[in-house]
A and B are shown apart, each in its own frame.
Chain A
């Protein structure tokens, strides 16, 4: 998946304002609620068949750290 497409999808799914996440270093921590955690889990399952646990999610800080958790091999420019 294109990195930009992932960022847009993440913004949409989390119902954030357009541009709230505009690059890989954008902070994610604190932006999602308990339901936001489910949304991240769903996104990882749907597009990458990747299981992200509650413990994993606690260590997510930026968009990039989420992408690294999913595996950078799944993204391109």
Chain B
């Protein structure tokens, strides 16, 4: 059982950056009827999202967020011993984008840097990784940069995914702190469901070729190329309701903490129907489950920090909160964290 516990380590700052460009669901009346669009907004919960332009990568959003955080917290960059970049939309196939970020942010050569290929569970997995490094005596501060630009991987004639996703990038500083309380993590995976959310073409299994760019119309009417994202929503839902509530309850048991002591349950923003159903299964009050879906869509790995920054920033900065972070999806992969957020610096949302 991958349950982890750390003490004397805390999140000291969180910053998020999104593109300025707004894409409104109501404008997609070329392939959807007005009724379908209004039903989507009501039940899936996305009214608009942000799209990066052709020159903006995930790392650009994350670097803006990181610069804002490093400057506003007046962090000595020489103290950043680790940078981890979690994304499924790196700058290049090779090299690791984290190395480029280390240089761009003028971090010292003594900084360890690597990428992690995870999506919806990526923020929580990323936190667990930087916590484990900070457990080492020599590590002082870590910078976790997490985000995705799914607008670059979705086909806009694939009705099963084209209205759901939005772009975003985040930066989080994690550091040693003598009085920080325990943080608990649970990490999980089930690769038998790897085809539930997948881009089949363009990597090693199905290398990029002329066929990678050929559009196919599937029996359900959706159009995709092998290099576009494929998603089976019903299978994602089945996996989520089967595994996520159970894993959260197991983590709470491991932490000997009752659910009613948790101030906020911050889910990956999968879709409103799924997240409402998860809260219902746990019998957890809906008003303590914040949503950023309406304005930003499903932002993959950026969705948890984005929700914290846009929906409950002032609350989180006002006093200590006990929170659960829960990420789940592509992999299949899911992860939960239970932590006390105290004296966390959270700048206003950045837009570029």
Contact = CB atoms under 8 A, between A and B. Distances in A.
Interface stretch (B113-121, B229-237, B292-300): B229-237
A70 interface: no
A61 B25 CA distance: 31
Contacts of A57: 234
B234 A54 contact: yes
Contacts of B44: 35
A9 B154 CA distance: 35
Nearest to B242: A51
A41 B43 contact: no
Given A45-B241, A51-B242, A38 B234 contact: yes
A67 to B, nearest CB: 19
B273 A35 contact: yes
Interface residues of A, number: 14
B232 to A, nearest CB: 5
Contacts of A39: 273
B3 interface: no
B245 to A, nearest CB: 10
B235 A34 contact: no
Given A38-B274, A45-B241, A33 B36 contact: yes
Interface string B221-254: 0000000000011110110011000000000000
A53 B242 CA distance: 12
B88 to A, nearest CB: 22
A50 B41 CA distance: 28
A37 interface: yes
B139 interface: no
B159 interface: yes
A31 B262 CA distance: 40
A53 B238 CA distance: 7
A42 B159 contact: no
Given A38-B273, A42-B277, A33 B234 contact: no
Give the dominant DSSP class at B's interface.
helix
Give the dominant DSSP class at A's interface.
helix
A54 B235 contact: yes
Contacts of B43: 35
A54 B40 contact: no
Given A42-B277, A54-B232, A35 B238 contact: no
B321 to A, nearest CB: 29
Nearest to A54: B234
Residue in B43, B44, B234, B241 whose Cβ sees the most chain A Cβ within 10 Å: B234
Nearest to A45: B241
A34 B237 CA distance: 12
B39 interface: yes
A35 B164 CA distance: 12
Nearest to B36: A33
Contacts of B189: none
Contacts of B40: 35
A53 B234 contact: yes
Interface in B21-36: 36
Contacts of A33: 36, 39
A38 B233 contact: yes
Interface of B: 36, 39-40, 43-44, 159-160, 232-235, 237-238, 241-242, 273-274, 277
Given A34-B159, A35-B40, 5 more contacts: A34-B160, A38-B274, A42-B277, A45-B241, A52-B238
27 contacts: A33-B36, A33-B39, A34-B160, A34-B233, A35-B39, A35-B40, A35-B44, A35-B273, A37-B233, A37-B234, A38-B233, A38-B237, A38-B273, A38-B274, A41-B234, A41-B237, A41-B238, A41-B241, A45-B241, A51-B238, A52-B238, A53-B235, A53-B238, A54-B233, A54-B234, A54-B235, A54-B238
